[in-house]
Amino acid sequence: MSLDTVGIVALEILNSVTILVLLALGLALIFGMMRIVNLAQGEFFTAGAFTVLTAVRYAHLPLWAGMLLAPFVVAALGIAIERLIIRRLYGRPLDVMLATWGVSLLLIGLITVIFGAVTQGIPFALGNFRVGRYSYPEYRIVMTSVAAGLMLGVYLLFRYTAFGRRARATIANPEMASAAGINTPRMFMLTFGLGAGLAGAAGAIMAPIVGVVPTMGVLYIARAFITVVVGGPIVLLGTLSSASVLGVIEALISRFSLFKIGTAGHCAPPPCEISIGGSAFFGQIALLLFAIVLLRLLPQGLSGFWRQRE
Amino acid sequence: MAPALLRARPAWAQGKTVPVGSLLDKTGGINIYGLPAIAGTEYAVAEINAKGGLLGKKLELIQYDTQSDIANFPKFAKKLILEDQVAVIHGGITSASRESFRPVIDEYKQLYFYNIIYEGGVCDKYVFVTGETPTQQMGPLSKYALKKYGTKAYTVAADYNFGHISWKWWDIFWRNGGGLTPVSGAKKGQHVGKVEFIPLDVTDFNATINRIQEAKPDVLMSFLVGGAHINFYRQFAAAGLKEKIPIISTTFGFGNEHIVLDAKEVEGLVACYPYFDEVDNAENRVFKAGMKKKMNNPNYYIGDAGAESYNGWHFWAKAVQKAGSFEREAVTKALESGIEWDSPMGHVKMDPASHHTIFTMHLAAVNKNHGWNMLESFPNVPPTETMQLCDLIKNPNQHTQYQPK
């Protein structure tokens, strides 16, 4: 393999990991920490993308302003949903699932009514740079930087601030935290809002490379959940490591053929064979298969496994 | 007992209206084609009704949103046939959706129109096709690309029956230099890299785009389908490849992708359809003005999917009038008499034996203003790949789809 191919494959891996981190980060808080199976998480992502679309197309703001706005708009949406619905259902996981599924359908419906069910696009500056024979979009590096920044920001927030300590205390033991004077309903609300805002940020940053359509969240929610579940109980590091492992698998299988099997029927040029691996289709399959096998072997996820070994 | 025998004979002769059905994806990833097709459908039915309907009866259009979900097609087709008792069904978009409910059509012997570009080969007594097929698109496209760009092609295709069968035909056309059999004196195409089949929900094309760069093709053939695949063109341009590798496609544009995408992302992409809004004739001027009024949008772009749905309804209406009946046998006989007329896309003719349509095809390139520049026109192009295999007059009991072995 030539050096530029090594470079481009490394960039592809980085890209896969980036997308998984972006998708999973908000859910890591809502599902990983708060244990809320939020089936509307995909629509928070969609709402972020539509915020950018609205800002750019209708309010004629610059693209970066729309992207900065998106997490706040979606966080506000998340807080409203927490206040109105989720708050009444803490400790009732099945009801929460049903309710958030309803919220998901409602949001898809609302966005469809407002914007129409059409796919829309957000054009962006098309810079690219060379890696040997390849040229590669600069925007993907921007995405990686944003994902890293968000990850680090969330880590610092929960590790080193008073808010973070209170939020962790609330989630670890609500009664105790409440007895210690923490306003626990407020902490739940803010954490949920933060998780929603992070999904909004992800939708906003990915909006220019994907089609913006009311049902877009559905395409991403499964991968978001899988990443968080594989990550296990140490939420942030677990999510990061599971995004890394799954991203590497997805990117490598998407790129390289593993083996070939012969087929009958039309093909050109002969010999008639299809390769297993080497396309996005097999990348997705590999990601799902790997997650299933991994959860069979390590039911607690990656970080649960480390914790056991300590 | 066969279910068809249980079916009460619809009372089309008695009522003041006649129910007619349409199955199109108003929502979901396939609605980039569904929405224009619905607009064309509603416009055509309204137009027929405004002129007094058919045989003295108004049409009552019953539409179900199939939601880009294959499972909805057989379900709603049955509902249209058994509950609504429609005289005709139009619709179906992806070939996967069509094949999911064609057995229902055959089981109940229901007259059905499929009004969209597809991979060819459907040979079914109850089915009429007003969309274009591989010969009509790939013939002109491969000749143009071989002359203009070179012989090395890379192919990306949607991963379902449309993409796979299109690839088989495309391989034949490309290696023969633009024909079903070798074209003498023409340059012959070859494939580089691989053919890539991409599932409809893939939105990230990073690895595919890098593989295309490795293969260094002279031209890229796209059979990509649906809202998620629109991202391919944007990501391709973002990697700086738009100026380096020209794209041709049998699918780009009929979902109005050139409206969604920016000119700097897709300007110059070449496609081949019987209808572009830019086609100039008296019928199209009336059609465009009427559609803009209906959609309440002076910039509305109709596109191939809208025009073919419109044509499908008018083909049917003309056959009903000719037959003097809504009954399937009579209407089929009228359609098999070779109905032809001047539509917004120019002169169109239903080929009696294959139930497919003969049109004038146009090569065009995406321009700077979300529209197309017409390059070249090819009058009266027949759907040869299907016509050479399918004769429903000589052999009427066929309900199959032919494809290259």
Instruction: Check if A3 contacts B (Cβ < 8 Å).
Output: no
CB contact under 8 A, A265 and B405: yes
Pairing of strands B190-198, B340-343: unpaired
Give B-chain residues touching A19 at CB under 8 angstroms: 204
Q: Which of A218, A281, A271, A257 is nearest to B158 (CA)?
A: A281
pLDDT, averaged across chain A: 89
CB contact under 8 A, A280 and B207: yes
CB contact under 8 A, B32 and A119: yes
Tokens for B277, please give them: 């809004």
The pTM for the full model equals: 0.86
Instruction: Check if A60 contacts B (Cβ < 8 Å).
Output: no
Task: Determine contact, residues B133/B166, Cβ cutoff 8 Å.
Answer: no
CB contact under 8 A, A265 and B203: no
Structure confidence at residue A152 (pLDDT): 96
Q: Which of B373, B369, B403, B379 is nearest to B389 (CA)?
A: B403
Å from A246 to nearest chain B CA? 15
| pLDDT > 80? residue A310 | no
Instruction: Check if A54 contacts B (Cβ < 8 Å).
Output: no
CB contact under 8 A, A119 and B196: no
Structure confidence at residue B1 (pLDDT): 40
DSSP state of B395: S
Question: Mutation test of the interface with chain B: which of A2, A118, A119, choosing the one with the most B Cβ atoms within 10 A?
Answer: A119
Q: Which of A220, A45, A211, A5 is nearest to A123 (CA)?
A: A211
Q: How far apart are CA B198 and CA B195, in angstroms?
A: 10
Instruction: Check if B376 contacts A (Cβ < 8 Å).
Output: no
CB under 8 A, 24+ apart: contacts of A145-148: A146/A22, A146/A201, A146/A205, A147/A18, A147/A21, A147/A22, A147/A25, A147/A205
Structure confidence at residue A7 (pLDDT): 93
Per-run averaged pLDDT (10 residues), chain B, 405 residues:
50 82 90 93 97 95 94 96 95 95 95 96 96 95 95 93 91 93 90 86 88 94 90 91 94 89 91 95 96 94 95 97 94 95 96 96 95 95 94 94 86
Q: Determine what percent of chain A falls in helix, strand and coil, rounding each to the nearest 5.
A: 75, 5, 20
For chain B, positions 166-185, list CB contacts with chain A under 8 A.
168, 171, 175
Give A-chain residues touching B35 at CB under 8 angstroms: 117-118
Å from B349 to nearest chain A CA? 32
Q: How far apart are CA B80 and CA B110, in angstroms?
A: 10
Structure confidence at residue A269 (pLDDT): 53
β strands within B252-355, DSSP E? 270-273, 340-343, 346-351
With residue B219 as reference, give the H or E element that holds it. Answer: strand B219-223
Structure confidence at residue B202 (pLDDT): 85
Structure confidence at residue B303 (pLDDT): 94
Which residue in B has a C-alpha nearest to residue A264's C-alpha? B405
pLDDT digits (tens, 9 = 90+) for A38-60: 999 999 999 999 999 999 988 99
pLDDT digits (tens, 9 = 90+) for A105-160: 999 999 988 988 777 878 776 688 999 889 999 999 999 999 999 999 999 999 99
Q: How far apart are CA B272 and CA B253, in angstroms?
A: 9
Q: How far apart are CA B11 and CA A232, in angstroms?
A: 63
Which residue in A has a C-alpha nearest to residue B35's C-alpha? A118
Question: Mutation test of the interface with chain B: which of A257, A266, A272, A285, choosing the one with the most B Cβ atoms within 10 A?
Answer: A266
Q: How far apart are CA A216 and CA B201, in angstroms?
A: 9
User: In sequence order, which residues have a C-beta less than 8 Å from that of residue A72 and are 6 or more positions away?
Assistant: A197, A200
Which residue in A has a C-alpha nearest to residue B206's C-alpha? A12
Å from A215 to nearest chain B CA? 6
Confidence band of A22 (pLDDT split at 50, 70, 90): very high
Question: Mutation test of the interface with chain A: which of B173, B210, B233, B297, choosing the one with the most A Cβ atoms within 10 A?
Answer: B210
Structure confidence at residue A179 (pLDDT): 94
Q: Which of B365, B364, B362 is nearest to B379 (CA)?
A: B362
Write the DSSP assignment of B87-154 as a string of letters: S-EEE--SHHHHHHHHHHHHHTT--EEE-S---S-EEETTEEE-S--HHHHHHHHHHHHHHHT-SEEE
Tokens for A296, please give them: 């069979």
Which residue in B has a C-alpha nearest to residue A9's C-alpha? B207
